[in-house]
Amino acid sequence: MSDYRRIVLAVDLTEESNLVAERARRLGEAFGAEIHVVHVIEPLSLAYGGDIPMDLSTVQDQIHEQAKSHLAEFSAKLDVPPSRQHLIFGRPESEIQRTAEAVGADVIIVGSHGRHGLALLLGSTANGVLHGANCDVLAVRVGQEAQA
């Protein structure tokens, strides 16, 4: 197995991201790899389509500004400079894969929840990233089961 040189760490910026980030930090240290952090903002129009009859652009701008500062704060803790922070609009699965390709990553790190019932049927971001990724994908267990 060759060394990992470039890691893409995908974060939803929830509390659980810290656990996933810690794994990325250690892997980065072990291989002397460079870490890129990606956060994807799902456009409100994708989530709600034409269901809300109003202009959502102001709300979307606010979400973008807030996400930008959260991402910067989060990345600073990992010593990841702005040039390696990626804030992107779109669907998380495809944008995470696209970012990994764009930066030439050899591994993507995502969080993964143990899922049951309907959630299992609907699938997860980790699953979506895995299918179609051109590099390794490390799914770090998060949520209640990870703390047990």
Residue 74: CB minimum distance to ligand AMP, A: 11
Residue 146: CB minimum distance to ligand AMP, A: 11
Task: Indicate the DSSP class of residue 4.
Answer: P
Residue 3: CB minimum distance to ligand AMP, A: 22
Quick one: 2 or 147, whose CB is closer to ligand AMP?
A: 147
Contacts of 96 (CB under 8 A, 6+ apart): 8, 10, 38, 40, 108, 110, 125, 129
How far apart (Å, rounded) are the C-alpha atoms in residues 148 and 92?
A: 28
| Among 107, 116, 111, 137, CA closest to 36 | 107
Residue 79: CB minimum distance to ligand AMP, A: 19
Residue 53: CB minimum distance to ligand AMP, A: 26
Would you say 142 and 109 are in contact if contact means Cβ atoms under 8 Å apart? no
Quick one: 28 or 92, whose CB is closer to ligand AMP?
A: 92
Residues that bind ligand AMP (CB under 6 A): 10-12, 16, 20, 38-40, 92, 96, 110-111, 113, 124-126, 142
H/E element holding 111? strand 107-113
What separation in angstroms does the CA of 53 have from each of 33, 59, 104?
A: 47, 14, 41
Quick one: 75 or 124, whose CB is closer to ligand AMP?
A: 124
Quick one: 35 or 142, whose CB is closer to ligand AMP?
A: 142
Quick one: 2 or 68, whose CB is closer to ligand AMP?
A: 68
